[in-house]
């Protein structure tokens, strides 16, 4: 694959430091959210009685558990994206599209600092 000159441009360190700081703060928030969700899970309650629970309580616990599980999945996905972005910063590859290796638009990165695909490649993935 032939790369254009735009793919060779890297962000200066003074630009990456605030991005890295923001991503680390986001990582800490997501880790805290993950812990909070663990505590909210009705199945984690040691006082939960499995044998004699009424039907409505049992359903409420199952729905609560499924809600927490879905939210934890989304938090995990976001956490992975943030960690990948932090790794790309360390490797000097932040801001480069994972597919075409061209620069990701800075407006896109401002909205989503963990973006790993340019608009063109992201639209191909969703199609």
Instruction: State mean pLDDT over 31-37.
Output: 95
Higher pLDDT, 8 or 44: 44
Q: Tell me the pTM.
A: 0.79
Q: What is the pLDDT of residue 2?
A: 37
**How many whole angstroms separate alpha carbon 127 and alpha carbon 11?**
30
Q: Could you tell me if 9 and 93 are in contact, meaning their C-beta atoms sit under 8 angstroms apart?
A: no
Q: Could you tell me if 89 and 57 are in contact, meaning their C-beta atoms sit under 8 angstroms apart?
A: no
Q: To the nearest whole percent, how much of the chain has pLDDT over 90? A: 61
Q: What is the pLDDT of residue 55?
A: 66
What's the token pair of residue 68? 């927490």
Q: In terms of Cα–Cα distance, which of 26, 31, 9, 3 is closest to 85?
A: 26
Higher pLDDT, 49 or 75: 75
Work out the pLDDT band at 17, boundaries 50, 70, 90. Answer: very high
Q: What are the residue ranges of helices labelled H in the chain?
A: 13-40, 55-91, 106-111, 119-126
- Please tell me the total number of residues recorded for the chain in this structure: 127
Three-state secondary structure call for residue 113: coil
Work out the pLDDT band at 47, boundaries 50, 70, 90. Answer: low
Q: What is the pLDDT of residue 59?
A: 80
Q: What is the pLDDT of residues 88-98, one digit of tens each?
A: 999 989 999 99
Q: Could you tell me if 85 and 23 are in contact, meaning their C-beta atoms sit under 8 angstroms apart?
A: yes
């Amino acid at each position: 694959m032939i790369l254009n000159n735009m793919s060779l441009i890297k962000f200066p360190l003074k630009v990456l430091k605030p991005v890295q700081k923001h991503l680390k703060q986001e990582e800490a928030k997501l880790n805290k959210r993950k812990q909070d969700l663990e505590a909210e899970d009705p199945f984690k309650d040691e006082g939960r009685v499995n044998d004699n629970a009424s039907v409505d309580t049992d359903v409420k616990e199952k729905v609560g558990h499924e809600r927490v599980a879905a939210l934890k999945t989304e938090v995990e996905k976001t956490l992975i994206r943030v960690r990948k972005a932090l790794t790309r910063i360390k490797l000097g590859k932040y801001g480069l599209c994972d597919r075409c290796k061209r620069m990701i638009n800075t407006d896109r990165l401002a909205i989503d600092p963990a973006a790993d695909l340019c608009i063109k490649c992201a639209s191909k993935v969703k199609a």
